[in-house]
Amino acid sequence: VNDKIADYIVENKAPSAAELVRMYLQAGFVGTIDEAKMDRAVQSHSNWYVVRHSQGHLKGKLLGVGRFISDHARYACIYDVIVEKDSQNQGIGSAIMQRIIADCTALGIDTVHLWPSKGQKGFYTRLGFASLTAEQPAMTLGKRVALKLE
């Protein structure tokens, strides 16, 4: 792993719910984002990569997050790769992704998926990710689908 700046550490420990809410809001992510709900997210079984300042008066300050959710055998899906605005373009996003890729590779996971935010495809292309074909697109559950379970 080739880090451009040295004064940060990467922890495999979830951020707090409040920190995750702040990261989502500053990245402009949509959906119902509140601390009570994000408490479930940080307690759920995800592999987290959390970057914090390691020195000086900023020690411990959150700089970036990323995680993957996986069966640790066949599949992994990467979510929430977010670097705090003032700390972007310093190699932190790549450091998170390189660690995720290394860990998924070490586990022998066959398929690693992600779904880039608008405008971020190029960041993932340079890390070795490619779009799926039109015959095999990513799909998401539409909000207007009413599920009738009874």
Ligand X SMILES: CC(C)(COP(=O)(O)OP(=O)(O)OC[C@H]1O[C@@H](n2cnc3c(N)ncnc32)[C@H](O)[C@@H]1OP(=O)(O)O)[C@@H](O)C(=O)NCCC(=O)NCCS
Distance of CA 100 to the CA centre of its chain: 9
Instruction: Report phi then psi at 66, rounded to 5.
Output: -170, 155
Q: Which is nearer to ligand X, 62 or 81 (CB)?
A: 81
DSSP class of 136: S
Q: Which is nearer to ligand X, 17 or 124 (CB)?
A: 124
Q: How wide is the angle at C-alpha 91 spanned by C-alphas 26 and 112, nearest 5°?
A: 80
Q: Which is nearer to ligand X, 14 or 24 (CB)?
A: 24
3-state secondary structure of 40: helix
**CB of 125: closest distance to ligand X in angstroms?**
7
**CB of 28: closest distance to ligand X in angstroms?**
8
Q: Given 3-state DSSP classes, what are the helix, strand and coil percentages for the chain, each rounded to the nearest 5? A: 30, 20, 45
Are the CB atoms for 104 and 74 separated by under 8 Å? no
Q: Which is nearer to ligand X, 25 or 73 (CB)?
A: 25
**CB of 148: closest distance to ligand X in angstroms?**
32
**CB of 52: closest distance to ligand X in angstroms?**
14
Strand partners, 75: 111
Amino acid identity at 115 = W
Q: Which is nearer to ligand X, 89 or 136 (CB)?
A: 89
Residue nearest to ligand X (CB): 93
**CB of 146: closest distance to ligand X in angstroms?**
29
* Binding residues for ligand X (CB under 6 A): 27, 81-83, 88-94, 116-117, 119-120, 122-123, 126
